[in-house]
Amino acid sequence: MKVFIERSSSLIAAIILLQTLYFKFTGAPESVFIFEQLGAEPYGRIGTGVLELIIGGLLLFRRSSLIGAFLGLAVISGAILSHILVLGIEVQNDRGLLFGLAILVFVLCLITIILQRDKLLQFINKK
């Protein structure tokens, strides 16, 4: 059951991250607006997209999902802080959907890390 939950959390987080790439890489108006508000258009949008592509790929495979989850926490923490400090919870009348998805990805990455803590402890003890 533990493996099923870990795999599910990793895969759902990967799907969410990977589905946003279309909007980032095609320059969708919503995505451009967000990164303009952050003063990071276009480099921040494309750079974040590349990072999310790498993280999504890492989360897809059990062997690399722990690394993906840690990187996912870092990147999605930036998104959450951007919403709280600059953008607001609701962006362009999305009723908080993007913020909610960011929170969900954060929680799913955290679940992945917690359920793979044995792998993490094993790595730490090798040093």
Residue 80 has pLDDT above 90, yes or no: yes
Confidence of residue 7 (pLDDT cuts 50, 70, 90): very high
Domain boundaries, the chain: 2-126
**What is the predicted pLDDT for the residue at 31?**
96
Residue 91 backbone zone (phi > 0: left; psi -120 to 50: alpha; other: beta): beta
What is the tens place of the pLDDT at every residue in 8-36? 999 999 999 999 999 999 999 999 999 99
**What is the predicted pLDDT for the residue at 127?**
65
The rounded distance, in Å, linking the Cα atoms of 7 and 54 is 17
